[in-house]
Chain A
């Protein structure tokens, strides 16, 4: 069964710290891995990774994928209180082929709290 596992489940750091969030996956038909940030309501898209070893960066956030070892990391440097959120990892869209279905499979998320 396709699954996504994130670690740690929660993390408390102080402003200025650097954090690394982990995501491992097992999926039969991998297309891409996605990272989302969820503060109060809707998950907002951060990155989509499809190829191993190519780092995606956006400001203080960066992410990389290892398709051989089936994992990804999300790094946040110089954390700020505004980074406090749940970070979700997903793989997808899985499915396709003859089934005609596509869906994203999410991990449970990592809850990050950044203290001032």
Chain B
């Protein structure tokens, strides 16, 4: 098992373009999380999946953001009509379905909107 995998690692895009990121969680982990992290801040929760069901979306997730986990395995996060304020590190994490358990993070996708 190689841990949580995210790609691309870096993405530079022009304002107004759409971008899509992919996350492959640890294989036996049914829970999957997306977080956003900006400089000097801790990770901020965006959305959570259990298997293929998206069970919570943060208020940070505007209508331009959509996430999917179609077969309960990998997940994608799409940002439409990107804005400069979307520039951040997007982190994916996964965990087991346990009451007390840690989440394992991927290396993140750093998005720069120019």
Please report A residues at the B interface, Cβ cutoff 8 Å: 4, 6, 31-32, 34, 36, 41-45, 48, 50, 88, 90, 92-93, 95-96, 99-109
Contacts and interface: CB of A to CB of B under 8 A. Distances in A.
B26 interface: no
Interface in B65-114: 89, 91, 93, 95, 99-108
Per DSSP, chain A at the interface is strand
7 contacts: A4-B42, A6-B42, A88-B43, A93-B99, A99-B56, A108-B42, A109-B42
A41 B90 CA distance: 10
B44 to A, nearest CB: 7
Interface string B17-61: 000000000000001010100001111110010100101100000
Given A41-B108, A93-B101, A103 B42 contact: no
A103 B95 CA distance: 10
Interface residues on B, range: 20 to 34
Given A31-B100, A48-B100, A108-B41, A43 B48 contact: no
A59 to B, nearest CB: 18
Given A102-B48, A103-B45, A106-B43, A93 B95 contact: yes
Contacts, number: 72
A99 to B, nearest CB: 8
Interface of B: 4, 31, 33, 35, 40-45, 48, 50, 53, 55-56, 89, 91, 93, 95, 99-108
- A103, A104, A108, most chain B CB atoms within 10 A: A103
Contact of B31 (A34, A41, A102): A102
B42 A107 contact: yes
Contacts of B33: 103-104
Contacts of B55: 99-102
A1 B101 CA distance: 22
Nearest to B45: A103
